[in-house]
Structure 1
Amino acid sequence: MKNSDYTYDYLLEAFTQAKETADHLVQNTADDVFLRKPAEDKWSMGEILNHLTQAGNEYLPQIKKGLNKPDEDLPKGSDPFTPNFLFRWFIGQVSPENRRKLPTVAAFEPVEGKAMNKKDVLDGFLKLQDEIIHILKKAKLEQLDLDHIKTRNPIVKFVPMSLTSCFAIQEAHQRRHFEQMRELKERFGA
Structure 2
Amino acid sequence: MKQINSNTLLELLQNDVRELLLQCTLLQNTDPALLVKQPAEGRWSVAQVLEHLNIYARHYILAIEQKLHLNQTGANDVFTPGWLGNYFTQLMKPLDNNSLKSKMKSPSNAVPSAQPDAQAMLQEFINHQHHLLNLLQIARTANLDYIRVATTLSKLITLKLGDTFRFFIAHEQRHFLQIENTLKALQPFVAHLQVK
| TM-score of the alignment, normalized to the shorter chain, above 0.5 | yes
Q: Is the 8 A contact 2:68 2:139 kept in 1?
A: no
Contact 2:85 2:164 in 1 (8 A): no
Whether 2:109 is the aligned partner of 1:111: answer no
In structure 2, what is the equivalent of residue 138 of structure 1?
138
Compared CA separation, residues 122 and 4, structure 1 to 2 (3 A): farther
The answer on whether the counterparts of 1:4 and 1:88 sit within 8 Å (CA) in structure 2 is: no
CA positional deviation for 1:102: 0.6
Residue 4 of structure 1: how far off its partner (Å): 7.0
Distance between the aligned counterparts of 1:179 and 1:83, measured in 2?
Answer: 24
CA distance in 2, matches of 1:62, 1:84: 19
Look up the SS of the partner of 1:7 in the other structure: helix
Whether the aligned pair in 2 keeps the contact of 1:153 and 1:160 (CA below 8 Å) is yes
Quote the sequence identity (%).
22
Alignment of structure 1 residues 62-77 onto 2, 5 Å:
62-69=63-70, 71=71, 73-77=72-76
Question: What letter is aligned with 2:112?
Answer: P
**For the residues of structure 1 that align with 2:3 and 2:25, how far apart are their CA atoms?**
28
Gaps of 5+ in 2: 191-196
Quote how far apart the aligned CAs of 1:92 are: 1.4
User: Displacement, 1:66?
Assistant: 1.9
Any idea what the Cα deviations from partners look like across 1:23-81, whole Å, max 9, x if unmatched?
21x12322221111122211111111111111111112221232232x5x2242124x3
CA distance in 1, matches of 2:30, 2:75: 44
CA distance in 2, matches of 1:42, 1:137: 36
Question: In 1, Cα distance between the equivalents of 2:9 and 2:28?
Answer: 30
Provide the secondary structure at the position in 1 that maps to 2:149. Answer: strand
For structure 1, the residue ranges without an aligned partner over 5 or more in a row are none
**Distance in 1 of aligned mates of 2:3 and 2:24:** 25
* Matched letter for residue 157 of structure 2: V
Equivalent residue, structure 2, for 1:56: 57
The aligned runs of 1:1-190 (5 Å cut-off) are 5=4, 7-24=9-26, 26-69=27-70, 71=71, 73-79=72-78, 81-97=79-95, 98-112=100-114, 114=115, 116-140=116-140, 142=141, 144-189=142-187, 190=190
Contact kept in structure 2, 1:55 and 1:107, CA below 8 Å = no
- The superposition leaves residues 154-178 of structure 1 with CA deviations (integer Å, 9 ceiling, x where unpaired) of 3211012111111111111111111
Whether the 8 Å contact between 1:22 and 1:178 is mirrored in structure 2 is: no
Rg larger in structure = 2
Mapped to 1, the partners of 2:149 and 2:171 lie a distance apart of: 19
State the distance in 2 between where 1:123 and 1:82 align.
Answer: 34
Equivalent AA in structure 2 for residue 84 of structure 1: G
Q: Is the 8 A contact 1:96 1:177 kept in 2?
A: no
Q: Relative contact order, CA 8 A, sep 6+: which one is greater?
A: 1
Counterpart of 2:194 in structure 1 is none
